[in-house]
Amino acid sequence: MHPSDHMSMRTFKANRCRACGIVLGFGDRCDWCQHRPPGHVDAPGEYRGRHHSEWIGTVQVLVDEDDVHALQLLLPRLVVAATAEAEATGRPSHGWFDEQLAQLEERNFGVTPTGRTRDSDAA
Ligand SMILES: [Zn+2]
């Protein structure tokens, strides 16, 4: 992404579901929350009724908007969901949410994760 593209996205405020916080194109509740099954319990790998992979776009928007508070709430839940799925299936978690959380902490709290050398594509 070109740096100027990133700057222009900083003023964009995406609609997010008022109930669960996933990013929406329109409206104030996502389709799932409008028709939420009573007593739903997330399966391993799910957060608030959706597989963690469905939250990746929401995390990307929140990173673009630099919405630190929302990311601090959301990312640990998604790390838990991805970890629970990995434990349930025996397949390793790909660790994308862990990476996002580590980068968030590094940017905002000056915590440098040890043993983590990752090329940054940020300018
Ligand atoms: Zn929702």
Q: Quick check: is 68 in a domain? A: yes
How far does the centroid of ligand 1 lie from the alpha carbon of residue 29, in Å?
A: 5
Q: Quick check: is 93 in a domain? A: yes
Q: Quick check: is 123 in a domain? A: no
Q: Quick check: is 122 in a domain? A: no
How far does the centroid of ligand 1 lie from the alpha carbon of residue 76, in Å?
A: 18
Between the CA atoms of 35, 37, 40 and 46, what dihedral angle is there, to the nearest 10 degrees? -40
Q: Residue 3's pLDDT is what?
A: 41
Residues pairing with 46 in the sheet: 51
Mean pLDDT of 47-67: 94
Q: Which residue has the tokens 């978690």?
A: 93
Q: Quick check: is 120 in a domain? A: no
Average pLDDT across the chain, whole number: 81
Q: Quick check: is 117 in a domain? A: no
**Full residue range of the structural domain in which residue 92 is found:** 3-109
How far does the centroid of ligand 1 lie from the alpha carbon of residue 24, in Å?
A: 9
How far does the centroid of ligand 1 lie from the alpha carbon of residue 53, in Å?
A: 15
How far does the centroid of ligand 1 lie from the alpha carbon of residue 38, in Å?
A: 14
How far does the centroid of ligand 1 lie from the alpha carbon of residue 18, in Å?
A: 7
Spatial contact of 45 and 52, defined as CB atoms under 8 Å apart: yes
How far does the centroid of ligand 1 lie from the alpha carbon of residue 61, in Å?
A: 16
Mean pLDDT of 70-82: 96
Among 103, 112, 49, which Cα is nearest to 77's?
49
Q: Quick check: is 92 in a domain? A: yes
Mean pLDDT of 64-90: 95
How far does the centroid of ligand 1 lie from the alpha carbon of residue 102, in Å?
A: 26
Q: Quick check: is 119 in a domain? A: no
Mean pLDDT of 26-35: 80
* Number of domains present in the structure of the chain: 1
Q: Which two tokens stand for residue 19?
A: 């109930």
Q: Is the pLDDT of residue 122 over 90?
A: no
